[in-house]
Structure 1
Amino acid sequence: MTLHLVKPEKSWSNAYQSFYLEWEESQEQMIPWVIAQFPDDMDKLLAFYEDHHTGNIPQNWVPDTTYWLVDEERVIGVVNIRHYLNNFLLESGGHIGYGIRPSERGKGYANIMLQLALEKAKELGIKQVLITCDADNVASKKVIIHNGGKAADDYVDNNGNIIHRFWIGD
């Protein structure tokens, strides 16, 4: 099975809707945040992604690029790469957010997706990548460390949640 990152496109519409519906049925928080955009109108969704990539975004947001991790027929995961950090992202969001569809977790896909996303971040000129995860997300912490994450100071949000922060790169 060959896995690769693709920019979202119409040819993956049915596969992405399957991904989305599986996540919705799980009733888990949709991570990264971009997957919470309902995919009933693929043209609208693709325009949303393009606007974010080109910087046509709300004030105080940063440009970002979304990729889908796919095999020959399915969308396995989604990764969102923020092009630079604002104060919020520096504290708790980081450069990269990613998620694997619920039925495919624990199979090593997150490691592959993060490795590929780090290559895409380099292409965007990001030399040092900040990645964060909630303190109770042990699986994500392992993925980040496996991909070279070096622990930085934790951040505690307004609700008392502890966010682990890791730097990867030069």
Structure 2
Amino acid sequence: MSEIKLIKPSIEYAQKIEAYRAEFPAERERVTYDPSRIPGMDYLEKYDNVLDWLQFCENMSDKLTWYMAFRESDSKIVGFIVFRHKLEYDDDDIEFASNLGYSVCPSERGKGYAKEQLQLGLQKAKAFGFDNVRIVCRDTNIGSNKTILANGGVYIDTIHGEESGLNVNRYDLQTDMNIN
């Protein structure tokens, strides 16, 4: 039985979402060069309060779908994942685009939640009609690289961002993989 389930963020979870955001230090590792961006919670950093971000999520529902990785045993948000319906929407540079972006709360890392969350995210992508997705992560993010590989990720290549100065690994994943 799964320890977590993916549910869409809503107003009833506003305080929990804010608590999740507060756990991320400014020096967190990320794919983007924007130090305020929390993977899986795209654009939350642009809003002073969660309610405005939730409205943004609703307004973007035809392009992006956010999910909270919710641990049922204690009702804690342990992660976030965003599904980007088209690669073109993610970034200005299509080479750095990713269908799925995710994060795990710093206090909950190393417990297997990233792997489980990505498995559930692949199921969501499948429900949207995707057979394959693209995921990118920094080459130095060992945990994320392992998570992607553990979910059947096929390494494509490593690319370098001229503007960001970051090296990013690109992977393709099938949405119907049955990983244990």
Give me the TM-score of the superposition, normalised by structure 1. Answer: 0.85
Sequence identity, in percent?
Answer: 30
Paired position in structure 1 for 2:10? 9
Preserved CA contact (<8 Å) 2:7 2:67: yes
Preserved CA contact (<8 Å) 1:99 1:110: yes
| Count of aligned pairs between the two proteins | 159
**2:67 is the counterpart of 1:67:** yes
Alignment of 1:1-170 (within 5 A): 2-23=3-24, 26-27=25-26, 28=28, 29=35, 30-32=38-40, 33-38=42-47, 40-42=49-51, 44-54=52-62, 63-72=63-72, 73-86=75-88, 88=92, 90-158=94-162, 159-169=164-174
The alignment yields a C-alpha RMSD, in angstroms, of 1.9
Alpha-carbon distance, 1:12 to partner? 1.3
Alpha-carbon distance, 1:129 to partner? 0.5
Structure 2 spans left out of the alignment, 5+ residues: 29-34, 176-180
CA distance in 2, matches of 1:94, 1:41: 24
Opposite residue 69 of structure 1, the aligned amino acid is A
CA distance in 1, matches of 2:81, 2:113: 12
Preserved CA contact (<8 Å) 1:5 1:67: yes
| Residue deviations 1:98-143 (CA, integer Å, cap 9, x gap) | 0011111111100010000000001111211000100100110000
Preserved CA contact (<8 Å) 1:95 1:131: yes
Alpha-carbon distance, 1:68 to partner? 0.5
Preserved CA contact (<8 Å) 1:82 1:95: yes
Preserved CA contact (<8 Å) 1:128 1:167: yes
Opposite residue 155 of structure 1, the aligned amino acid is I
Relative distance call for 1:35 and 1:142 in structure 2 (3 A) is farther
CA distance in 2, matches of 1:3, 1:12: 15
| Residue deviations 1:43-80 (CA, integer Å, cap 9, x gap) | x22211011112xxxxxxxx111101011311111101
**Secondary structure of the residue that 2:60 maps to in structure 1?**
helix
Preserved CA contact (<8 Å) 1:149 1:166: yes
Question: Which has the larger share of helix?
Answer: 1
Give me the TM-score of the superposition, normalised by structure 2. Answer: 0.81
